[in-house]
Amino acid sequence: MADETDLHVGKRLRRRRRLLGMTQQDLAGQVGVRFQQIQKYECGANRITSSRLYELSRALNVSVQYFFDGIPVADAPDAANDANEYMEGDILSQKETLELVRAYYRLGERPRKRLLELAKALEGDQSSHGAA
């Protein structure tokens, strides 16, 4: 049976791989394993050694800490795992969000900045309308 930590790390691995538009085969080739091993890592069936986690972090261009971000702390009260954190994970796993992020990063630096400014302005418009 998979440990909660293994499941969390596997979900983070899958999320980052998909965000980058990589297949399991692509990632496997970069770290020197078969794609089936990536499948097992992602579902938490196999634990990831520290050296493999380091290789995966390099292939996915993230820090090793990325895989542990948002992990529930055993001694923390349930309030630490509030709806905002659940919502963030849920949003990041949606296909539409991944497509939006991929399209965003295909843009040049200047259009990305302008798009971000537009999104922030629209967010401000919505909050001011909601308060009225």
Residue 79 pLDDT: 44
Residue 92 pLDDT: 67
For tokens 């529930």, the residue is 72
The CB density around residue 39, as the number of other CB atoms within 10 Å, is: 15
Question: How many residues are given for the chain?
Answer: 132
Convert the pLDDT of each residue in 66-87 to its tens digit: 999 988 776 655 544 444 444 4
Asked if 85 and 70 count as a contact pair (C-beta separation under 8 A), the reply is yes
Angle between helix 109-131 and 95-106 (nearest 10): 130
Nearest to 7 by CA among 31, 58, 41: 41
User: Low-confidence residues of the chain, pLDDT below 70?
Assistant: 1, 74-93, 127-132
Cα–Cα distance between 3 and 8 in angstroms, integer?
9
For the full predicted model, state whether its pTM sits above 0.85: no
Residue 112 pLDDT: 86
Residue 83 pLDDT: 45
